[in-house]
């Protein structure tokens, strides 16, 4: 193991990172903001200690990015830059644990994988900041465990970096606790690392991490522990086994990683398990397996789950995959062909997504008559909504009937327009403005045209009068894509219902 820089290989790593950064920025600037991104930017307009869905770090970044460049796709740029830094730390981690060649293989594979190329690599979601924090903590921990013996001052510095990394991860996503648990498990399991249990520095690192996530704890305490309850409730058993959900989760992970990357990743994990007496491999297994195992199995009895929940675990598996491919003796020519094919396939996928999101083609032609929804409609922005005749005079507020629609609406109208959500699932909108301060004022309800009747029924008890609905269609490429009903809502009579005890005004 050699933790010293290697000029030639380091230049190759930087070239890989720079090339993918350019590709990410092209991709990021070619797609509109997705549902989660629109929601994040809108909710982050108001700085808060934390937020309902997630800890605050990516929302803080989004807040200042939007102030600097506007509420548009340019706000993705800091997240793309952050993944560049994450990739460099990951490369140095893998190079130090194994060797630069394995690290270059792992780094390229990480960047050419769809999820890490797009979502974690550039979108305004918590995964990018989470991976940065985890990579930083893992790099510092690996230096402690596997570099030449540390003097006391160096040990303290590295343990404090571990604490900072875990703190940043904890400010990004609650699942960071699984990686922290894996790190703790490694110290307990690995015979050569148990001496750290008697050293005060790891406990100081834990205190640093806990201090950094204090805003999350304080916010939850002030709001009835709403965020903890929301996220924790997703794993609660719901009665009976759901093998279909379990298979969907597995297939989703294969799709997010791509089959041609997933197979060697699994092989790397299996090889590492067989060689787990090697503490370097055991270290990465302890970081990889907790999120992969827990979030893959939980849908068997709990909520549906999301494939991206497992991705922090797969992130560390790339290092194992790189070493497995090198150890397996794959030739340079075969690796080069694999890299070219993987890049071409990724470019084809990205190009198809951009074409579909911009024009609606070829999804419509391929799925005509099937009734399947176009997934790229998530990136379709509703900016033209404000051109509807009903909005010639700006309303006091706009009400959405879905939290996901509210983000699109909020970005269409800008920060000056207050947005509420009339739903039993309002998410973070419940913790912004108190609707009681708008009693007596009038607004507009925006709902999908197909949900008009249910929206009228839900809104009627809260308004003095509901006017005749107007209809607005938003489209792309000259074709209608989103049909909305716009309902004049006169005279709010009382506070809108909220599903959480700590919501605004409660």
Q: Over the stretch 54-63, which tens digit does the pLDDT of each residue have?
A: 999 999 999 9
The reported pTM is 0.95
Answer whether residue 70 shows pLDDT above 80. yes
Residue 349, number of CB atoms within 10 A of its CB: 14
The lowest-confidence range among 136-140, 217-221, 316-320, 361-365 is: 361-365
User: What's the rounded Cα separation, in Å, for the pair 115 and 113?
Assistant: 6
Q: Over the stretch 454-468, which tens digit does the pLDDT of each residue have?
A: 999 999 999 999 999
User: What's the rounded Cα separation, in Å, for the pair 213 and 171?
Assistant: 6
Answer whether residue 498 shows pLDDT above 90. no
Answer whether residue 390 shows pLDDT above 80. yes
Per-residue confidence band for 1, with pLDDT thresholds at 50, 70 and 90: low
**Which pLDDT does position 242 carry in this prediction?**
86
Q: Taking the CA of residue 385 as centre, how many other CA atoms within 13 Å lie in the half-sphere pointing to its CB?
A: 28
- Class of residue 369 by CB neighbours under 10 A (exposed 0-12, middle 13-18, buried 19+): exposed
Answer whether residue 32 shows pLDDT above 80. yes
The residue among 393 and 212 whose pLDDT is bigger is 212
Question: What average pLDDT does range 294-315 have in this prediction?
Answer: 92
Cα–Cα distances (Å) from 363 to 46, 257, 355, 358, in that order, read 37, 22, 10, 11
- Average predicted confidence (pLDDT) for the chain: 94
Relative orientation angle of helices 100-112 and 7-30, to the nearest 10 degrees? 0
463: tokens are: 């308004």
**Which pLDDT does position 503 carry in this prediction?**
74
**Which pLDDT does position 370 carry in this prediction?**
64
Q: Over the stretch 287-299, which tens digit does the pLDDT of each residue have?
A: 999 999 999 999 9
Q: Over the stretch 163-185, which tens digit does the pLDDT of each residue have?
A: 999 999 999 999 999 999 999 99
The closest of 426, 472, 417 to 447, measured between CA atoms, is 472
**Which pLDDT does position 371 carry in this prediction?**
67
So where are the chain's domains? 19-226+244-350, 382-492
**Which pLDDT does position 269 carry in this prediction?**
98
Q: Over the stretch 367-379, which tens digit does the pLDDT of each residue have?
A: 666 667 788 899 9
Answer whether residue 360 shows pLDDT above 70. yes
**Which pLDDT does position 18 carry in this prediction?**
98
Answer whether residue 364 shows pLDDT above 70. no
Per-residue confidence band for 8, with pLDDT thresholds at 50, 70 and 90: very high
The lowest-confidence range among 107-121, 197-211, 346-360, 483-497 is: 346-360
Sequence-separated contacts (24+) of 199-208 with Cβ below 8 Å:
199/155, 201/155, 201/156, 201/159, 201/160, 202/159, 202/162, 204/156, 204/159, 204/160, 204/163, 205/159, 205/160, 205/162, 205/163, 205/166, 206/163, 207/163, 208/160, 208/163, 208/164, 208/167
User: How many residues does the structure list for the chain?
Assistant: 506
């Amino acid at each position: 193991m050699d933790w010293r820089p290697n000029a030639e290989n380091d230049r190759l790593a930087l070239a890989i990172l720079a090339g993918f950064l350019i590709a990410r920025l092209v991709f990021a600037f070619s797609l509109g903001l997705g549902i989660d991104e629109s929601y994040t930017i809108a909710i982050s307009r108001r700085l808060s200690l934390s937020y309902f869905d997630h800890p605050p770090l990516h929302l803080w970044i989004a807040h200042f990015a939007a102030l600097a460049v506007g509420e548009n796709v340019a706000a993705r740029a800091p997240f793309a830059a952050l993944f560049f830094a994450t990739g460099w730390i990951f490369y140095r981690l893998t190079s130090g644990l194994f060797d630069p060649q394995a690290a270059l293989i792992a780094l390229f594979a990480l960047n050419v994988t769809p999820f890490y190329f797009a979502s974690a690599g550039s979108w305004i979601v918590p995964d990018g900041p989470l991976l940065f924090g985890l990579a930083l903590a893992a790099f510092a921990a690996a230096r402690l465990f596997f570099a030449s013996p540390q003097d006391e001052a160096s040990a303290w510095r590295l343990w404090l970096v571990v604490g900072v990394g875990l703190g940043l991860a904890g400010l990004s996503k609650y699942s960071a606790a699984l990686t922290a648990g894996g790190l703790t498990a490694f110290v307990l399991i690995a015979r050569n690392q148990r001496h750290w249990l008697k050293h005060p520095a790891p406990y100081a690192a834990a205190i640093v991490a806990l201090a950094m996530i204090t805003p999350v704890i304080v916010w939850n305490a002030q709001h009835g522990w709403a965020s903890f309850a929301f996220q924790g409730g997703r794993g609660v058993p719901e009665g009976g086994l759901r093998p279909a959900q379990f298979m969907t989760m597995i297939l989703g992970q294969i799709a997010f990683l791509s089959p041609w990357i997933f197979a060697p990743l699994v092989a790397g994990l299996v090889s590492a398990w067989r060689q787990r007496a090697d503490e370097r491999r055991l270290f990465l297994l302890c970081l990889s397996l907790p999120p992969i195992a827990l979030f893959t199995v939980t849908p068997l009895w709990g909520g549906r789950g999301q494939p991206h929940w497992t991705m922090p675990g797969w992130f560390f598996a790339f290092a194992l995959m790189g070493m497995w491919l090198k150890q397996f003796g794959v030739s340079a020519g075969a690796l080069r062909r694999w890299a070219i094919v993987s890049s071409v396939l990724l470019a084809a996928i990205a190009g198809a997504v951009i074409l579909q999101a911009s024009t609606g083609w070829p999804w419509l032609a391929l799925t005509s008559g099937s009734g399947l929804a176009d997934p790229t409609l998530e990136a379709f922005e509703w900016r033209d909504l404000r051109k509807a005749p009903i909005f010639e005079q700006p309303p006091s507020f706009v009400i959405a009937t879905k939290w996901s629609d509210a983000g699109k609406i909020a970005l269409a109208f800008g920060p000056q327009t207050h947005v509420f959500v009339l739903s039993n699932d309002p998410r973070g909108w419940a913790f912004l403005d108190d609707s009681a301060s708008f009693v007596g004022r009038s607004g507009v309800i925006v709902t999908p045209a197909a949900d008009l009747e249910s929206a009228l029924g839900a809104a009627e008890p809260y308004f003095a009068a509901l006017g005749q609905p107007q209809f607005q269609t938003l489209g792309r490429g000259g074709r209608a894509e989103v049909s909305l009903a716009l309902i004049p809502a006169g005279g709010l009579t009382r506070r809108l219902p909220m599903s959480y005890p700590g919501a605004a005004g409660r």
